[in-house]
Amino acid sequence: MTNHNWQFQTEQSLVENHGLKLDEFEKIVEGLGREPNLTELGIFSAMWNEHCSYKSSKFGSKNYQHQVNALYKGQEKMLE
């Protein structure tokens, strides 16, 4: 899925291969104040992966839910 408006030095195919969408990559860049290096890109990819992310998971334990919410809010704050 090539975006003809790609304005980053990081190759679009690398970002796509990490399973990140353009808007997600833009949030990362905005949060860091720069483009992520390869290690950081991998970390964000793992954190936001559909199997692992809060946005697609359902939890049975309220305590676990609370811990995940706190972690997720920390990620969001970093990207504000």
Has residue 1 been placed in a domain?
no
Going 13 to 18 to 22 to 28, the CA torsion angle's sign is negative
Has residue 45 been placed in a domain?
yes
Report the half-sphere exposure of 21 (CA within 13 A, side-chain side). Answer: 5
Query: pTM higher than 0.75 for the full model?
Result: no
- Show pLDDT as tens, one digit a residue, over the chain (80 residues): 566 678 889 989 999 988 888 888 898 899 889 999 999 898 888 887 765 555 444 544 555 666 666 666 666 665 55
Q: What residues make up the domain containing 58?
A: 12-79
The set of residues, in sequence order, having a beta carbon less than 8 Å from that of 29 and lying 6+ positions away, is 8, 35, 36
Has residue 34 been placed in a domain?
yes
